[in-house]
Chains A and B, each alone.
Chain A
Amino acid sequence: MSEVLDTISPKPSALQPMAVKKELLERYPTKVARKRARQIIINEVGPDCSVPEIQSNVRTIPGIITQRGCTYAGCKGVVLGPTRDIVNITHGPIGCGFYSWLTRRNQTKPNGPTDHNFMTYCFSTDMQDEQIIFGGEKKLRQAIQEAYDILKPKAIAIFSTCPVGLIGDDVHAVAREMKEKLGINVFAFSCEGYKGVSQSAGHHIANNGIFTHVVGLDDTVSEGKFKINLLGEYNIGGDAFEIERLFKDCGLTLISTFSGNSSYDYFTNSHTADLNLIMCHRSINYVAEMMETKFGIPWIKINFIGASATAKSLRKIAAYFEDAELAARVEEVIAREMPAVEEVRAEVKTRCAGKRAMLFVGGSRAHHYQELFREIGMEIVSAGYEFAHRDDYEGRRVLPNIKVDADSRNIEELHVEPDPNRYKVRISPEQIDRLEKTGLRLKDYDGMMAEMPNGTLVIDDISQFETEKLIEIFRPDIVCAGIKEKYAIQKSGTPMKQLHSYDTGGPYAAFKGAINFYREIDRMVNSKVWKYLKAPWQEHPELAATYVWE
C-alpha cells in the first residue's frame, strides 16, 4: 500500500470485476451483503445504450459508515443555502444551523454595498428543552420578528430540524401568520433530517417550496433574445461566475441560477425564461419539470464540467434557439477559449495519461468530472453517487420502472397544472421533432453508466469499508470524494480531491475551470510529497548501522 504508488499496477483481481465485488462483500453479515450486492454493479452498456439495473435511493444500513447526510442538509445546506438575500432560519437546536454555516464554499457577489447578503450569517432558534416540552412555535414567531426588525429582508425561510417534526410545531402556519403580519414573503420547509434516505429528499422538498412560494411572483420580462435559467449550479469555488461570463459573451441572458450566486428576485422572475438548463440533474430536475408543466419552459441537460462538455452544451443551447447569429457567436467563443485549454491539456496529459481515478461524490458530479479526467487521458476505475436515484445512473428511460417506496412517498409530490395566464408554448412540436432529428433531446438524460466503460464498478452509497478495500485493490492515483473521506484516503498514501467543496480550488466549470482542474490534478497525482512516505531506514531495514567514517 505504502510503496511508491504510481509504479505499481493494480492487484490482478482488479481486472476481474466479479472478484472485486466478491471481495467487497465478503466481510459483511449476510443481510448486509445481500443488500449491498444490488448497489454494487459491474457496468455493461448494451448496443441500445441499455445498462444493468442498480439499486439506489434506498435506506443506509444502520452502523455502516456512510458518505451521506440528511434531508435538512439537502434542503437548507444545498439548495437554499447559496441564495444570498433570503434570511434562512433554522428552527431547532443550535447544531444544524451551525454546521451548515458557510461550509459549502458557495461564492456570491452582491450587486452593490447595499444589496442584501445574509450568507455569512447563521440564524437559529437555538431550541432549548423548554421548547421541546412546550412547543417551539412561540420562539419561532419571535425569532422571525427579530430577524425582520434587525435585517428587513425581502424573504425569510424556515427550516425544520428533527425534533421540530416530532413535537409537531406547525412551521407552515407560523410562516403564513408572519407573512401576513410583516408583509414580506415567509415560507417554511418540513425538511426534518429523518425524512427520506439521504440529502436527496431535502432537494426535493426545497424545490417544491421554492416553486410554490417564490417562482412566478414577478412577471417583468427582461430584455434579451435568448433567455435561460441555469438549474443545479451551486457556485462552488466560483463555478457560476465562470459560466455567467460565457453566457454573457455568447449573448445569452441568464434570468436565474438555482442556486449559486443566486438571489430571491431572480427566482421570482425565473418563469420568464425560455429554456431551462440542468446541471445537477439529481438535485433539481423537479423544478425544471414543474416549470415546464406550469409555464411551458422546456429543459435540456447540459454539463459545463469539462472543456468539450462545455462546448457541447453551448452548442446544444444554440441549437435549441435555432438562431444562426447565436450559433456563430457560440462558435466564436469556443474558438476563442479552446486554444488555451488545449495547450494546458496537451501538456498535462503527458504526465497524467494512464493514471487511475475513482469518484464517489454527489448525485451528478461523479458523472460530470469523468469528462475532465478523460480529457487528460486518465482512467476511471470505479465511480458512484452518494445520494442519486436510478435515473441518475441508468438514464431517465427507467423513470417509469422506478417503484416509489415508503421513504419517497413521505416527500410531497406537487400537483402542477398549466398556469392559465402565463403558460406559453416556447417551442412547437414540429421544432421539437426537427431538433430531435439533429440529436438534441429535450427532457432527457442518459445517466452516468452509459458513459462508463464495461467492467467498471458502479457503486451506490459507498461505505468507508468499501472505499478502503477499493483503494487496496485498484491502487488509484487519485480519489474524489468529500471531506469525511479525505484524510482516511490520504493517510493511505493516495491524494484525494474533494468534489463537493473543491477543497480550496476552483472554479472548475467551463473552459477556464477546465484549465484549473487539469493543473490541480497534475499537481496532485504527480506531487513529490507522496514519495516520502517511508524514511530511508524503513526502505532498507536489513542494513545494520555502522559509523562509516571510522
Chain B
Amino acid sequence: MLLRHTPDTVAERTALTINPAKTCQPIGAMYAALGINRCLPHSHGSQGCCAYHRSTLTRHYKEPVMAGTSSFTEGSSVFGGQANLLQAINNIFAIYEPEVIAVHTTCLSETIGDDITQIIAKAREENKIPKGKYVIHANTPSYVGSHVTGFANMVKGMVDYFAAADGRKENRINIIPGYVEPADMEEIKRIASDMGISTIMFPDTSNVLNGPQTGRYAMFPAGGVTVADLIRTGGSMGTVALGRLASGLAARTLDAKCKVPCEILDLPIGLMATDRFIDTLRQIAGVSVPDSLNIERGRLLDVMTDMHQYFFGRTAALAGDPDQLISLTEFLVSVDMWPIHIVTGTPGKKFESRIKEITKEVPHPVNVKATGDLFLLHQWIKNEPVDLLIGNTYMKYIARDEDIPLVRFGFPILDRIGHIYFPTIGYRGGLRLLEKILDALLDRQDRDAPEESFELVM
C-alpha cells in the first residue's frame, strides 16, 4: 500500500493538511501571465518559489516555462525587496527583451510588505522601463486562497494596468476563459469564431503552452493576448467570464473601471454549462447559433443517451478546483452518475452550497468539503468506495491502493499527455471527457468480467 497510513476513521484535523488539493497563489499568477504575448512573469521573492512554480508548470505542460525572480537573500528580507526588483527589471529588459514583465508577489514579499506599485513607479522614474514596455503586478500572498485566487488576481492585474475606455464601444466581446488548459482556450475561441463573434480572450495560453516543435526555441512564442488587445478590452460591448472564482474578479473590475458589463458563468464543462455559455454569447452578440455547433451538441447528447446504461448510478470521487468541480459535478449528474465525495483545497463556503444544490437529486448522501485534502477524500473512499476517481495525478496513489480507475482531470497532470492538446470544455470537450470516463469504466468491466460474461459488444 502506497498510502498505508491512511486510516478509515476520520478524525477532525484543524491544523494539519495532508496531501493537499490545492497549491499557492503565485503559480496561478505565473500561469495567467504566460497568457500575455511577449510577457515574462516575474516572481518577487526567494528564487525557490520561482523554481518550484516553473518546475510544476513545466511538468504539467511539458513546455518551456520562463520566469524571472528577485532572488531575495536574507538582506532583502530585512531591508525590503525594492533594490532587487529594480535591478531585476533593468536586467530583464536588457537581456530577455519582453514587452511586459508581470510581477507577482510571494508570501515573503507580502509579509515584509513591499509596495510593488511604488517600486514600479520608481523603476519608471529611473528609466528602467524602456519606452513602449510595461511592468504590471498582482498581489498574490500564498497564505490566502489558492492557485486559483492567484490566477484571478493576475487577470485582474491585466485589467488594472491595461484596460482603457474612450467612451466608444466596439462590437466585440471580451472572454475571460478561467483557469483552463491552452486547448480549452483555443476551443473557446473557436466556438466564438464559429458563431461569428469578434472576441478578445485574456489570458490566452494557447500557442504558448502547447507550442509546436519547430527546431527553433523562442522565449516568447507567437501566442498570448497582445497588449494592444488588452487595452482595447475597455472598449468592448461586454465581458463573458467563465468560472466565478478564476474570472469573476477581473470581469467585475473591468465593469467598474470601463463600464463594460459582464456575465459571469460557470466553466462550460458538460452539456448544460456549455448550453448556457453559447446561449449567453448568442444573446449578447445578437447572433444565431450555427448548425455546426448544433451538430456538436447533438453528438454529445447522442453519446449521453446511447451509453446511459454505463453511467447510470456509477459513483465517483472528485478533487480539483472549485470552478471545474462545479461544472464537472453538474455534467456527471446530468448523465445520472453519482458524484458522492467531492473536495477542493481552495477555501470558500459558496462551493459547498453550490455542489449541494447541484447534487440535491442524487439519491445518495454526498460528502463535500472546501478546504479539504486528498487524505480526507481517501478516508471517505475507504468508508464508501466508488466506481471512478476524477482528479489530478496525485490521485493515482489512491487509485492504486483502492483499485479504482482514475480519469486525470485538473492540475497538475504529471504523468499523461493530452490535456494541453484536447479540450474538455464545450461540446467536443464533453465528448472527450465522456470517452475517457467510459474507457475507464469499460476497461474495468472487461478486466473484472468472468470469462463466460466477457463481452465483445458493449
Q: Which of A59, A69, A465, A482 contacts B48 (CB 8 A)?
A: A69
Interface centre among B16, B75, B111, B141 (most CB of A within 10 A): B16
Chain A: interface size category: 35 or more
Q: Is the CB of B74 within 8 A of A195?
A: yes
A523→B92 CA distance, assembly (Å): 37
Query: A241 at the A/B interface (Cβ < 8 Å)?
Result: no
**Smallest beta-carbon distance A219→chain B, Å:** 29
Q: How far apart sit A311 and B88, CA to CA, in the bound complex (Å)?
A: 47
If A62-B84, A95-B26 touch, whether A2 touches B394 (CB-CB below 8 Å) is no
A193 touches B108 (CB 8 A): yes
Please give the distance in Å from A177's CB to the nearest CB on chain B. 15
A46 within 8 A of B: no
Q: In the bound complex, do residue B3 and residue A162 qualify as a contact, i.e. CB atoms below 8 Å apart?
A: no
Partner of B90, one of A29, A65, A131, A132: A29
The answer, yes or no, to whether B312 is at the interface (CB within 8 Å) is: no
The distance from the CB of A526 to the nearest CB of chain B, in whole angstroms, is 17
Is B424 on the interface with A (CB-CB < 8 A)?
no
A70 to B345, CA, bound (A): 25
The answer to the question of A165 belonging to the interface, with a C-beta cut-off of 8 Å to chain B, is yes
- Complex Cα distance, B111 from A165, in Å, reads 10
Contacts A94-B345, A151-B5, A491-B216; A125 near B16 (Cβ below 8 A): yes
Given contacts A28-B95, A120-B3, A146-B16, contact A66 B47 (CB under 8 A): yes
The interface residues of chain A lying within 8 Å CB-to-CB of B22 are: 94, 98
Best-surrounded residue of B14, B110, B111, B141 (most CB of chain A within 10 A) = B111
Question: How many residues on chain B are close to A (CB under 8 Å)?
Answer: 85
- A199: which B residues are within 8 A, CB to CB? 48
Q: State whether the Cβ of B7 lies closer than 8 Å to any Cβ in chain A.
A: yes
CA distance A102 to B76 in the complex (A): 30
What is the distance, in angstroms, from B108's C-beta to the closest C-beta of chain A?
4
Cβ–Cβ contact A117 & B4, under 8 A: yes
Q: Which residues of A contact B216 (CB under 8 A)?
A: 1-2, 491-493
A506 to chain B, nearest CB (A): 16
- Which B residues from 1 to 48 make CB contacts under 8 A with A? 1-5, 7, 11, 13-20, 22-27, 42, 45-48
Chain B residues near A126 (CB-CB < 8 A): 17, 20
What separation, in Å, do the CA atoms of A163 and B112 have in the docked complex?
9
> Does A103 lie at the interface of the complex (its beta carbon under 8 Å from any beta carbon of B)?
yes
Contact residues, B190-240 vs A (CB, 8 A): 211, 213-219
CB closest chain-B residue, reference A532: B213
Q: Which of B5, B47, B74, B108 is the most central at the interface, judged by chain A CB atoms within 10 Å of its CB?
A: B47
Contact flag A70-B88 (CB < 8 Å), given A142-B15, A533-B214: no
Do A194 and B23 touch across chains, with their CB atoms under 8 A apart? no
CB pair B111 A166 closer than 8 Å: yes
Beta-carbon nearest neighbor of B345 in chain A: A94
Contact of A63 among B16, B17, B23, B95 (CB under 8 A): B95
> Is there an interface contact between A197 and B73, defined as CB atoms closer than 8 Å?
yes
- Distance in angstroms from B98 CB to nearest chain A CB is 11
With an 8 A cutoff between CB atoms, is A385 at the interface?
no
Given the known interface contacts A95-B49, A120-B2, A491-B216, the answer about A194 and B58 at a Cβ–Cβ threshold of 8 Å is no
**A150 close to chain B: CB less than 8 A:** yes
Task: Please report which residues of chain A, range 118-143, place their CB below 8 angstroms from some CB of chain B when the two chains form the complex.
Answer: 118, 120-129, 131-132, 139-143
CB < 8 Å neighbour of A92 from B18, B92, B107, B219: B107
Chain A window 88-117, contacts with chain B (Cβ cutoff 8 Å), 1 for yes, 0 for no = 010011111111111100000000010011
A126 to B53, CA, bound (A): 17
Chain A residues near B110: list those with CB within 8 A.
163
The reply to whether B55 and A94 contact each other, CB–CB distance below 8 Å, is no
Residues facing B in A317-333 (CB within 8 A) are: none
Docked-complex contact A166 and B88, CB < 8 angstroms: no
**A149 contacts the other chain (CB 8 A):** yes
Query: Is the CB of A281 closer than 8 A to any CB of chain B?
Result: no
Flag whether A464 is at the interface (Cβ < 8 A).
yes
Give the chain B neighbours of A71 by CB distance below 8 A. Answer: 46, 48
Q: Which residue of A lies closest to B109 (CB)?
A: A162
Determine if B382 is an interface residue (Cβ-Cβ < 8 Å): no
Is A147 an interface position by the 8 A CB rule? yes
Q: Which residue of B lies closest to A199 (CB)?
A: B48
Q: Please measure, in the bound complex, the distance between the C-alpha atom of A493 and the C-alpha atom of B69, giving whole angstroms.
A: 27
Of A113, A128, A193, which one neighbours B1 at CB under 8 angstroms? A113
Q: Residue A61 at the B interface, CB < 8 A?
A: yes
Contacting pair A483 B143 (CB below 8 A):
no
Within 8 A of B (CB), among A143-176: 143, 145-147, 149-151, 161-163, 165-167
Q: How far is the CA of A16 from the CA of B47 in the complex (A)?
A: 33
Of the listed stretches B59-67, B243-251, B301-309, chain A binds B59-67
Number of A-B contacts (CB under 8 A): 278
Give the complex CA separation of A128 and B216 in angstroms: 43
A93 to B144, CA, bound (A): 8
Minimum CB–CB distance for B214 against chain A, Å: 7
The answer to whether the Cβ of B454 comes within 8 Å of any Cβ in the partner chain is no
Q: Are B87 and A61 in contact (CB under 8 A)?
A: yes
Nearest B-chain residue to A99, judged by Cβ = B52
Is there an interface contact between B58 and A125, defined as CB atoms closer than 8 Å?
no
The 8 Å CB contact of A62, one of B20, B25, B53, B71, is B71
The reply to whether B51 and A69 contact each other, CB–CB distance below 8 Å, is yes
Query: When the two chains form their complex, are residues B68 and A65 in contact, meaning their CB atoms are under 8 A apart?
Result: yes
- Inter-chain CA distance A73–B213, complex, in Å, is 31
Chain A residues with CB under 8 A of B65: 484, 487
B264-298 vs A: 1/0 string, CB under 8 Å? 00000000000000000000000000000000000
A150 touches B7 (CB 8 A): yes
Contact among A28, A162, A197 with B111 in the assembled complex (CB-CB below 8 Å): A162
Which residues of B have CB within 8 Å of A464? 66, 219
Q: Which residues of B contact A484 (CB under 8 A)?
A: 51, 54-55, 58, 65
Contact A129 B144 (CB under 8 A): yes
Quick check: B16 and A162 within 8 Å, CB to CB? Answer: no
Contact digits for B91-114, partner A, Cβ 8 Å, 1 yes 0 no: 110111000000000111011100
Q: Which residues from chain B contact A113 at a C-beta distance below 8 Å?
A: 1, 4
Question: Are B144 and A487 in contact, CB atoms less than 8 angstroms apart?
Answer: no
A70-B47, A491-B64 known; A125+B85 contact, CB < 8 A: no
Q: How far is the CA of A73 from the CA of B53 in the complex (A)?
A: 12
Mark contacts of A1-37 with chain B using CB atoms, 8 A cut-off: 1 yes-contact digit, 0 otherwise: 1100000000000000000000000011100100000
Residues of B within 8 A of A123 (CB): 16-18
Pairwise interchain contact A62-B70, C-beta atoms closer than 8 A: yes
Is the C-beta of B56 less than 8 angstroms from some C-beta in chain A?
Answer: yes
Contact of A166 among B51, B108, B211 (CB under 8 A): B108
Task: Report which of B16, B71, B92, B146 forms a contact with A59, defined as CB distance below 8 A.
Answer: B71
Q: State whether A166 touches B77 (Cβ < 8 A).
A: yes
Chain B residues within 8 Å of A99, by CB: 23, 52-53, 55-56
Asked if B335 lies at the interface with its beta carbon under 8 angstroms from chain A, I say no
Tell me the minimal C-beta distance from A284 to chain B in angstroms: 20
The residues of B that contact A95 with a CB separation of less than 8 Å are 23-27, 49, 52, 107, 142
The reply to whether A491 and B213 form a contact with Cβ atoms under 8 Å apart is yes
Q: Are A101 and B16 in contact (CB under 8 A)?
A: no
Residues from chain A with a CB closer than 8 A to the CB of B72 are 193-194
Q: Is A286 in contact with chain B by the CB < 8 A criterion?
A: no
Known pairs A128-B143, A149-B11; A98 contacts B46 (CB<8 A): no
Residues of A near B53 (CB, < 8 A) are: 99
Asked if B20 and A122 sit within 8 Å, CB to CB, the answer is: yes
Which 8 residue pairs spanning A and B have beta carbons closest together? A70-B48, A2-B215, A95-B24, A63-B88, A63-B91, A533-B215, A142-B15, A193-B46
A interface residues, Cβ below 8 angstroms from B: 1-2, 27-29, 32, 59-73, 89, 92-103, 113, 116-118, 120-129, 131-132, 139-143, 145-147, 149-151, 161-163, 165-167, 192-199, 406-407, 410, 464-465, 468, 482-484, 486-493, 533-534
Q: Can you list 26 A-B contacts (CB < 8 A)? A: A27-B95, A63-B70, A65-B68, A65-B96, A69-B51, A94-B17, A95-B49, A101-B19, A120-B3, A121-B5, A122-B18, A123-B16, A146-B11, A146-B13, A150-B5, A162-B108, A162-B111, A193-B49, A194-B72, A194-B76, A407-B73, A464-B66, A487-B62, A487-B65, A491-B214, A491-B215
